[in-house]
């Protein structure tokens, strides 16, 4: 094992607080030998330190796409602490290695519901990859069957079942359609929110009436998911409602409405987005600009799209 990494592990083993983030880069892109050494040292670290460390590594991963703490997150999957296990799963959100399917499927049987829910969400990308034909049938089938069993288990916590449904919604099958319909009538509002999320993700236009019905729900989380689903389903007749939601009291709902307009396209959507490109709120302005770029890319003249990019600050003319 290289000496700088050895020194870092020794420092952590003494119960010290997390070192400067620069030192944590030593945990990135580990080879097999160094990963084995970390796996040996990891259980000896204080639980609070493991929690802080794994959470910090997730933050660094989100901010810097060049780092790869996958070896650490894999160690965290088997941690004795549920919070560490859950955070480790979240840290692997972009990892498409099909060898993750068995351990994630195993975590669907974890003693903690929060870990099971995280695993259900994480397995969704393998369902998508399978639907797109980008992975072999075996890992896709394992992910699909494990999620389906959870989703159909009435004794399972509803948070776990709804996350499983969200992951399964990529699959165009009658049984999944039935599960979405059942979830939409559930007594728990969070399950109904997940049903609308699943409707959008399914890319099935049959859900248009239900999605439109929820655009002005009293629950901002539902309005957000309904607006987003309008974009995923490209419901052109919802442009007037999305224009209203662009003035919603909840900024996240506003941004979802603007994103949806970019997906739907058309002259009216373009006009609305251009108006919000001069909004007072910087975040709304940025959301409108990103949605307008998406609109031009998906529906407009690509020459105009690239011309717009060239004229943006920081871009070469």
Residue 195 contacts residue 152 (beta carbons within 8 Å): no
CA-to-CA separations, 227 to 3, 259, 311, in angstroms, rounded: 52, 9, 30
Distance CA 151, CA 168 (A): 9
Distance CA 265, CA 294 (A): 9
State pLDDT tens for residues 67-76: 999 999 999 9
Average pLDDT over residues 243-258: 98
Task: Give me the residue spans of the domains in the chain.
Answer: 1-95, 104-202, 204-317
Q: Is the pLDDT of residue 297 over 50?
A: yes
Distance from the first to the final alpha carbon of the chain: 48
Average pLDDT over residues 238-247: 98
**Number of C-beta neighbours around residue 90 at 10 A:** 18
Closest to 57 (Cα-Cα) out of 74, 41, 81, 40: 74
pTM: 0.91
Residue 271 contacts residue 243 (beta carbons within 8 Å): no
Question: Average model confidence (pLDDT) for the chain?
Answer: 94
Domain covering 104-202 in this structure, CATH number = 1.25.10
State pLDDT tens for residues 178-222: 999 999 999 999 999 999 999 999 999 999 999 999 999 999 999
Specify the pLDDT at position 19.
86
What is 204-317's CATH topology?
A: 1.25.10
Closest to 165 (Cα-Cα) out of 142, 140, 190, 141: 190
State pLDDT tens for residues 12-40: 998 878 888 889 999 999 999 999 999 99
Answer whether 104-202 and 204-317 agree in fold. yes
pLDDT category of residue 251 using cuts at 50, 70 and 90: very high
Specify the pLDDT at position 317.
39
Q: Is the pLDDT of residue 1 over 80?
A: no
């Amino acid at each position: 094992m290289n000496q700088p990494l050895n020194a870092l592990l020794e420092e952590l083993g003494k119960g010290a607080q997390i070192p400067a983030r620069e030192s944590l880069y030593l945990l990135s892109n580990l080879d097999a030998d160094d990963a084995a050494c970390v796996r040996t040292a990891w259980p000896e670290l204080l639980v609070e330190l493991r929690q802080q460390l794994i959470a910090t590594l997730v933050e660094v991963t989100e901010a810097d796409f060049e780092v790869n703490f996958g070896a650490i997150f894999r160690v965290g999957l088997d941690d004795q602490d549920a919070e560490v296990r859950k955070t480790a799963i979240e840290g692997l959100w972009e990892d498409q290695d099909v060898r993750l399917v068995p351990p994630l499927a195993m975590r669907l049987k974890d003693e903690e519901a929060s870990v099971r829910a995280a695993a259900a969400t994480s397995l969704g990308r393998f369902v998508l990859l399978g639907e797109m034909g980008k992975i072999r049938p075996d890992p896709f089938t394992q992910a699909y069957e494990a999620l389906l069993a959870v989703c159909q288990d009435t004794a399972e916590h509803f948070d776990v079942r709804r996350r499983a449904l969200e992951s399964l919604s990529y699959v165009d099958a009658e049984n999944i359609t039935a599960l979405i319909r059942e979830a939409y009538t559930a007594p728990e509002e969070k399950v109904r929110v997940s049903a609308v999320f699943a409707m959008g993700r399914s890319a099935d236009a049959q859900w248009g009436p239900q999605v439109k019905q929820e655009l002005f729900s009293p629950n901002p989380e539902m309005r957000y998911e309904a607006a987003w689903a309008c974009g995923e389903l490209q419901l052109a007749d919802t442009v007037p409602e999305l224009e209203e939601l662009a003035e919603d009291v909840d900024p996240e709902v506003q941004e979802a409405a603007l994103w949806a307009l970019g997906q739907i396209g058309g002259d009216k959507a373009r006009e609305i987005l251009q108006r919000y490109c001069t909004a007072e709120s910087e975040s709304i302005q940025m959301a409108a600009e990103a949605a307008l770029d998406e609109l031009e890319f998906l529906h407009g003249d690509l020459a105009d799209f690239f011309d717009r990019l060239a004229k943006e600050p920081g871009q070469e003319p």
